[in-house]
């Protein structure tokens, strides 16, 4: 009863609580979107790294939620997968996935979401800043994924580049306009 009286007597507290709940719901939504995007996987015969829709949701999390909450959404996604929820590509899960050939891409997700959101934010939400944020986030994922791939598989960085970066450029270029289009609604809100 005492807490209800405090909340009822302080509309600002109710607003802050509602904002916090809204933020958590949005973070969890992007966690779920990323998990679903992981299941839209195309396995290429020459590399153990699949093409997925995850990266689209990673950069959108940063753009739509902002750098901090985009980061939290991707951290939540990783925590779910590490703890045993089958949210990684091919319904895989567990900490060992992070030590495999695709682990670097996954580990880059929080930083990529943050970077995409941050560049959009400092650019005032303009379309050019949004585009730069999306491209930068996607490149960061590919770069960290490629370096990790080289480390884990023992292949040279040039060989890793041909197996873990180059085959995914076209897929990311296709995702770019989709992310820019989906982010356009966020630009109108500002």
Residue with tokens 């944020």: 133
- Asked if 70 and 112 touch (Cβ cutoff 8 Å), the reply is no
pLDDT class for 3, splitting at 50, 70, 90? very low
Q: What is the pLDDT of residues 29-81, one digit of tens each?
A: 999 999 999 999 999 999 999 999 999 999 999 999 999 999 999 999 999 99
Q: Is 96 helix (H, G, I), strand (E, B) or coil?
A: helix
**Domains of the chain with CATH codes:** 2-184 (1.10.1760.20)
Q: Is 180 helix (H, G, I), strand (E, B) or coil?
A: helix
Give me the phi and psi of 145, to 5 degrees please: -60, -40
- Asked if 67 and 114 touch (Cβ cutoff 8 Å), the reply is yes
- Tell me what pLDDT residue 184 has: 82
pLDDT class for 8, splitting at 50, 70, 90? low
What's the pTM? 0.87
Q: What is the pLDDT of residues 90-148, one digit of tens each?
A: 999 999 999 999 999 999 999 999 999 999 999 998 999 999 999 999 999 999 999 99
- Asked if 142 and 165 touch (Cβ cutoff 8 Å), the reply is yes
**Over residues 153-166, mean pLDDT:** 96
């Amino acid at each position: 009863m005492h807490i209800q009286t405090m909340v009822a007597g302080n509309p600002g507290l109710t607003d802050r609580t509602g904002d916090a709940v809204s933020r958590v719901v949005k973070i969890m939504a992007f966690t779920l979107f990323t998990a679903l995007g992981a299941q839209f996987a195309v396995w290429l015969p020459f590399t153990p790294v699949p093409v997925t829709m995850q990266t689209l949701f990673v950069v959108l999390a940063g753009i739509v939620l902002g750098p901090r909450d985009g980061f939290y959404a991707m951290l939540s996604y990783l925590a779910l997968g590490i703890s045993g929820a089958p949210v990684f590509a091919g319904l895989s899960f567990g900490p060992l996935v992070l030590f495999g050939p695709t682990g670097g891409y996954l580990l880059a997700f929080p930083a990529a979401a943050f970077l995409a959101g941050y560049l959009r934010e400092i650019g005032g939400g303009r379309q050019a800043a949004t585009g730069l944020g999306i491209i930068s986030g996607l490149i960061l994922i590919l770069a960290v994924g490629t370096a990790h791939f080289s480390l884990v598989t023992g292949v040279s960085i040039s060989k890793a580049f041909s197996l873990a970066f180059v085959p995914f450029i076209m897929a990311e270029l296709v995702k770019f306009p989709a992310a820019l289009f989906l982010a356009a609604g966020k630009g109108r809100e500002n």
